[in-house]
Amino acid sequence: MNEQIEKLLKEVEELKENQKKMTKKMDKMQQIIDQIQEDIYEFGDPYEDEEDGCAGNCCGCSGCEDTEK
């Protein structure tokens, strides 16, 4: 009987340890997903937070102000 209990306790400890590992991996994946989302939004509108908008500083860009000419 004691042997069965010890075996079950060991299995429970292994499950707890595996759960900790999985939680850590999930947290890391969520951090990566959050960073990717931030990068996508920055790429979509990099000057959203700029008061003056686009300044034409991108490589190969002459700026957004001259697009009507």
pLDDT for 62? 58
Domains in the chain: boundaries: 2-68
Rounded Cα gap, residues 40 and 52, in angstroms: 21
Q: Specify the pTM.
A: 0.53
Encoded tokens for 63:
């700026």
**Residue 68 has what pLDDT?**
46
Q: Which amino acid is at 37?
A: Q
> Which comes out higher in pLDDT, residue 2 or 63?
2
Q: Could you write out the DSSP letters of every residue in 10-34?
A: HHHHHHHHHHHHHHHHHHHHHHHHH
The residue ranking higher by pLDDT, 41 or 63, is 41
pLDDT digits (tens, 9 = 90+) for 12-61: 999 999 999 999 999 999 999 999 988 887 766 555 555 655 666 666 66
